Chain A
Amino acid sequence: MNEDFEPKIVAFLCNWCAYTGADLAGTSRIQYPPNVRIIRMMCSGAVDPVYVIKPLLDGADGVLIGGCHPGDCHYQEGNYKARRRVAILKNILHQMGFDEGRVWLRWISASEGQVFAETVTEMVETLKEKGPNPLRELWGT
């Protein structure tokens, strides 16, 4: 493991749960690594694969998608559809020779600031093990 390597994570967080959870982590002063760049989405079901693929091709080391726990979606079923879409995306990335372990889907509720912080911590550790995204150096976009 390269200790100097600081992975960059792009996180797409649902406004109604994970984003508020991240906010709670902040207001509660829970420490977590500063490696994550957060983009607020209205629903995890609104995360098109194109949003996930773009940062990966640009060299982001990981992408985190945060949504409401099953059954808790603000729009009834967006997170279930997100789950299928992420499953398909991960399968395709794997088949195309990309490490699908750089894409994480996690259910994080608005009250789970601690869970958000732990998720980011765990993801940073995992990505440090994996090392930098090889696409950072490759010319394809």
Chain B
Amino acid sequence: MIKRIKRIFSDSFSLLQGLAVTAKYLFSPAVTLQYPTQRWTPPERYRGRVALRPKKCISCQMCVRACPNYSLEVKFSLGEDKKRKLSGFIYHLDTCLFCGLCVEPCPTAAIFMNQEYELAVYERKELVMDLTEADKNVE
């Protein structure tokens, strides 16, 4: 009997302890951001979508070979001086793993991952983009 009464008290105490914890947080400030009015800045190394500096690209296909999910296509034409000229850089955002493996082998640092994180679109075909168009002005 005494054991039971003791247990009632210890149980109620444990419940009160829990209430104290939640009460403590009730009056402490919130930790969340009010997105989209408040925005968070991604760190320097953040891996957003793949982006291209078109002027730097030498169409060497290293990124295409590095990609584990075949998400990149580099189109080029051979110029008169036998140099490759970039004519299209197709990026399949829908199959991209955001792993960053394409960035690492690039000899001219033409390909990188930018800070964009709002990548939702209304139609699936919008996910396939030509980066020479989309990143025309990226230096």
Q: Specify whether A and B are partners.
A: no
Which residues of A line the B interface, CB within 8 A? none
